[in-house]
């Protein structure tokens, strides 16, 4: 499990007849992992990574992202919607031979064409074990240190995709984690108060960060921090993320939530 810096919260009550002073709630634990950690440097430098992945590094900031997620050797990571395996490759090296990465797609016969490319990629790494499970009924063979998903939370409400219920996804992510484990979500930002998109044909493929935070906290998680490394103030949030004018450079939020100890 990652090293956590937890501020002391208890204050001794003064002696005497006065009632004990109310104690402040301790702040959330902060994940203390450096982008320069040896396991993260090795993951980014892994020669098995294709040139197409390396070309995306400037925009995706892999070292900072893995550090934000607190990835350490020996960690067990569930990756929802692994797509083309960009992060799968990184996690597999960063967690080391004693760790495990579970790229997660739907069961056989349901998974779509955009989910299946992960299969040969996962096969390249002995510690990558495919997880076939509904997204709203996540299940893994062991408790996890991290549940991670990038640029896909907004897809859950799109009815044509039939991905399941995101409230249940958050609840089962909570259940899958060890106490103190973290749930990391990266996605394309929509304007504050934007309606949840349900029509895949008209969707901008964005979601309001405040809505995501509220939904995840409702599952029992504690908000544990956010990173601005993927933010882009020039993005107006009014264009599809696939529009050539913004694709690959959207304003993205990265939030971390902790399962209480």
Domain contains 43? yes
With vertex at residue 178, the alpha carbon angle to CA 29 and CA 151, rounded to the nearest 5 degrees, is 75
Domain contains 25? no
The three-state (H, E, C) secondary structure of 175-190, written as one string: HHEEEEEEEEEEEEEC
Looking up residue 247, the CATH number of its domain turns out to be: 3.40.50.150
What is the number of domains present in the chain?
1
Domain contains 8? no
Phi, psi of 118 (to 5 degrees): -70, -20
Give the three-class secondary structure for 170: helix
Q: For residue 222, with 0-12 CB atoms within 10 Å meaning exposed, 13-18 middle and 19 or more buried, which class applies?
A: middle
Domain contains 16? no
DSSP 8-class letter at 128: B
Cα end-to-end distance, the chain, whole Å: 12
Domain contains 17? no
Q: Is residue 2's pLDDT more than 60? A: no
Domain contains 146? yes
Domain contains 4? no
Query: What's the rounded mean pLDDT across residues 106-121?
Result: 84
Neighbouring C-beta atoms of residue 252, cutoff 10 Å? 24
Query: What's the rounded mean pLDDT across residues 56-60?
Result: 97
Q: What is the pTM of this model?
A: 0.88
pLDDT tens digits, 124-182: 999 999 999 999 999 999 999 999 999 999 999 999 999 999 999 999 999 999 999 99
Residues 104 and 81: beta-carbon distance below 8 Å: yes
Domain contains 191? yes
Predicted local distance difference test score (pLDDT) of residue 107: 82
Structural domain containing residue 109? 34-258
């Amino acid at each position: 499990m990652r090293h956590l810096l937890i501020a002391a919260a208890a204050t001794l009550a003064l002696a005497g007849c006065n009632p004990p002073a109310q104690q402040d709630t301790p702040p959330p634990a902060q994940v203390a992992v450096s982008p320069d950690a040896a396991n993260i440097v090795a993951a980014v430098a892994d020669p098995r990574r294709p040139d197409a992945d390396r070309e995306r590094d400037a925009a995706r900031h892999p070292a900072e992202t893995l550090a934000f997620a607190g990835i350490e050797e020996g960690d067990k990571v569930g990756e929802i919607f692994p797509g083309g395996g960009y992060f799968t490759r990184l996690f597999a090296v960063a967690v080391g031979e004693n760790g495990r990465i579970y790229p997660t797609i739907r069961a056989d016969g349901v998974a779509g064409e955009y989910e299946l490319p992960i299969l040969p990629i996962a096969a390249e790494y002995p510690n990558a074990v495919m997880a076939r499970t509904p997204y709203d009924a996540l299940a893994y063979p062991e408790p996890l240190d991290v549940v991670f998903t990038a640029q896909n939370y907004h897809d859950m409400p799109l009815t044509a995709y039939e991905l399941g219920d995101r409230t249940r996804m958050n609840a089962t992510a909570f259940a899958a984690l060890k106490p103190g484990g973290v749930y990391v979500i990266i996605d394309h930002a929509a304007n504050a108060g934007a309606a949840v998109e349900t029509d895949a044909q008209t969707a901008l493929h964005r979601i309001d960060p405040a809505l995501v935070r509220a939904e995840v906290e409702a599952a029992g998680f504690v908000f544990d921090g956010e990173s601005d490394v993927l933010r882009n103030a020039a993005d107006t949030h009014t264009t599809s993320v696939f529009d050539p004018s913004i694709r690959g450079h959207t304003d993205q939020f990265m939030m971390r939530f902790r399962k209480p100890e």
